[in-house]
Amino acid sequence: MVLARWWRTRIPRYRLIGAQCKSCGRAHYPPRKACPYCGSTELEQVMLPRRGILESYTVVQSIPGDTRFQAPIIVGLVRLENGVRLVAELTDVQPEELKLGLEVEATMRRIREDGDNGTIMYGLKFRPVLGKS
């Protein structure tokens, strides 16, 4: 992943900021310049709830890149408390603990490392809410 692109998208990625459409009322993540549902450009940035449930998940074995030391990669489809969905990596969870409906919360983690220039990229992953699994 290119450093400049990573830098440009950092704020919503660090703070879980979405966009709320003033026209149709729907919110989405990450924030886009136009509403993906109705096309309106009347959007305002909103903080999204940091908790949600797992609507689906997978344990990725076909590891992209040279990440054999970080396997397994677990990816989830998370539905936040306000209904906004997003795809994100999961962390602090074992594959056998995964289940549909699991309550999860956002937490800051290392997402990628750029091997060539040593940059470490951070962002939000989701982990089970303690005592709810």
Partner 1 sequence: MVYVSRVGMVKIGRHYEKSPRDLAFEAVREALADADIDSIDYLVVASSLTYMQSPQLDLAAYIASSLGLPVKSALAVEAGENSGLAAIEVAVNLIRSHAAEKVLVVGVDKLTDYPSGPTYEMLEALYDTESDAIYRIGHAAPLAMLMRIYMEKYGVDRNTLAYWPAMMHAHAKENPYAMLRFAIKPEKVATAMPIADPITLLDAYPLGDGAAAVLLTSEDQVGDHLARIKEVAGAVGMPSIALREDPLMLEHVAKLSNELNLSEEKVDIIELHDNFTIMGLLLLESLGLAPRGKAAELVATGYFDVDGEGPLVNASGGLKARGHPIGATGVYMVAEVALQLAGKFPGVKRPGAEKGLAVGINAHGSSTRIVVMESV
- Which residue number, 52 or 128, has a Cβ lying nearer to partner 1? 52
Q: According to the binding rule CB under 8 A, does residue 105 interact with partner 1?
A: no
Rounded least distance, CB 27 to Zn ion, Å: 9
Binding mask 23-62 for Zn ion (x = CB under 5 A): xx----------x-xx-x----------------------
In the 3-class helix/strand/coil scheme, how is the chain assigned residue by residue?
Answer: CCHHHHHHCHHHHHHCEEEEECCCCCEECCCCCCCCCCCCCCEEEEECCCEEEEEEEEEECCCCCCCHHHCCEEEEEEEECCCCEEEEEECCCCHHHCCCCCEEEEEEEEEEEECCCCEEEEEEEEEECCCCC
- Which residue number, 68 or 130, has a Cβ lying nearer to partner 1? 68
Rounded least distance, CB 56 to partner 1, Å: 4
- For binding to partner 1 (CB under 8 A), which residues are involved? 1, 5, 9, 13, 28-30, 36-37, 55-68, 73, 75-77, 85-89, 100, 111-112, 123
